[in-house]
Structure formats: C-alpha cells, structure tokens
C-alpha cells in the first residue's frame, strides 16, 4: 500500500473510531432515560424500560447508569471502546481523555425502591437517604417531618422503622395508632432494616388476630398508612 493510501486508511479508521467512541459515550439513540419510570409502576413495567437491575439489595434495585442518555454498556462491548479510545488518545492527545471524562461524569447509580406488591415506591434510594438524614439532623424534627415522611413513603427502611415507632408511641406529633405502626414495622422488615423483625414481633401481640391479619393483607397489597396525615400542623 502506498504512503498516501495508508494515510487515508488511517484517517478513515480514526474517524470511524471517533464516531464509535462517541456512540458508546452518549449511549444508543433509543436509550430511555430513567425519568420515564414512575411511582406505582410494577417491577415488570420498570424493567421493560430499564432492563434487569445490576444488583438488588432488599427492596432496592440498583442500576449503573449513564445519566446523560441511558444505561451504560458493559461486558465485552467495552473492549472495542477501550481500543478505539487508546488510538484516539495516541493521535490526538487530550481528546481521548476529554471524551472519557464526559462519559465518566455522567455515570451514576440509580436505586429504585419497591413495595411488597412489587410496585415502585421511590425513584431514588439516595434521595430517600438524604431526606432521612436531613430529618435526623434537623433542629426541630417535628417541624421537619416532611423529610421523614418523604423517605418513609419511598420505602426507605430506616425511615419506615422510625415512623413505626412514632405511631406506636405517639411522638413527634403523631397519635398512637398500633395498626399503622404494625404496617410501618412490616415495611421496615421488608426493606431489610436490621431491627425490623424485632419491632414486628414487639407490635404483633398488641393487635387482635383479626386486626393483625387485616393489617398484613393491606400491607401485602401495598397499602402503607399515610405519613403526613398523622402530622400536626
């Protein structure tokens, strides 16, 4: 092959490499953003949009995500990307790194929280965790109950455990409601809170068998007691 032909071939290869690399970084055009998932969707509906989760922890399904466009690719599909990225970096110093940094900065981990009926309760475990921690450090926890309720109603285990105690003992402006406390304790156990099982066993004997059975049926159907309705103004 003559020198001009070799240069043309190399230029074409680099151009194709740039296009392929950009497509990997940006994600496929048909990728559906995480924002298409809504509360109340079934697990099947959510996974039809996002695919199967990368990991599951109790009631949380975790997705490694490219927040800019769609779910990131994985597996052997990354091999061509890394080779092309190396080629691009070798001939155009700095450009390859800039492209990698753009991809890296868009990565994230999204955690969907599910209820016992396998429907989406919360769209972000991190957001629920931040809300719960915000309530815990609030100067006036009773005045900032909206943070606790946001986390609990999203299926956050620690927040559900706290709400169960609030309803059991009538603290932070709540009226005592043992049946509601029992359902929130069931939610804490379902979400994997380490003290959830103990709280369930503590509250269960306080309810008549028929009321306890009805509470368990309502919980299994995804009926959580309203949190904000119990707050004082």
pLDDT value at residue 12:
53
C-alpha R_g of the chain = 25
Q: Are 176 and 165 in contact (CB under 8 A)?
A: no
Contacts of 111 (CB under 8 A, 6+ apart): 57, 60, 61, 62, 63, 124, 125, 126
The reported pTM is 0.70
Q: pLDDT under 50 in the chain at which residues?
A: 10, 14-32, 68-79, 103, 105-106, 229-233
Determine the Cα–Cα distance for residues 209 and 205; give it in Å rounded to an integer. 8
Model pLDDT, residue 192: 97
The region, left, alpha or beta by phi > 0 then psi within -120 to 50, assigned to residue 58 is left
pLDDT at 98: 56
Element (H, E) at 62: strand 60-66
Residue 95 and residue 222: Cα distance in Å, rounded?
50
Q: What is the pLDDT of residue 3?
A: 60
pLDDT of residue 109: 73
d(CA 186, CA 178): 12
How many Å apart are CA 85 and CA 18, to the nearest integer?
8
pLDDT reported for residue 36: 87
Q: Note the pLDDT tens digit of each residue in 118-142.
A: 999 999 999 999 999 999 999 898 8
Give the contacts of 106 (CB within 8 A, at least 6 positions apart).
Answer: 66, 67, 68, 69
pLDDT for res 107:
54
């Amino acid at each position: 092959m003559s020198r001009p032909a070799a240069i043309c071939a190399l230029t074409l290869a680099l151009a194709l490499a740039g296009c392929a690399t950009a497509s990997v970084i940006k994600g496929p055009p048909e990728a559906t953003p995480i924002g298409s998932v809504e509360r109340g969707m079934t697990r099947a509906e959510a996974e039809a949009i996002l695919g199967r989760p990368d990991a599951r922890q109790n009631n949380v399904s975790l997705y490694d995500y490219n927040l800019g466009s769609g779910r990131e690719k994985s597996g052997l599909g990354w091999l061509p990307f890394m080779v092309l990225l190396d080629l691009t970096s070798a001939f155009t110093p700095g450009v390859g790194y800039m492209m990698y940094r753009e991809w890296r900065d868009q990565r994230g981990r999204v955690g969907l929280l599910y209820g016992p009926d396998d429907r989406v309760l919360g769209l972000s475990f991190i957001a629920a965790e931040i809300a719960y921690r915000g309530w815990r450090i609030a100067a006036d926890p009773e005045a900032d109950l909206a943070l606790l309720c946001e986390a609990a109603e999203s299926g956050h285990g620690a927040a559900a455990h706290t709400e169960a105690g609030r309803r059991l003992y009538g603290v932070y402006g709540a009226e005592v409601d043992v049946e509601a406390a029992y359902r929130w304790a069931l939610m804490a156990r379902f979400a994997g809170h380490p003290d959830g099982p103990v709280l369930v066993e503590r509250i269960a004997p306080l309810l008549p068998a028929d009321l306890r059975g009805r509470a368990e049926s309502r919980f299994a159907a995804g009926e959580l007691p309203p949190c904000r309705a119990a707050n004082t103004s």
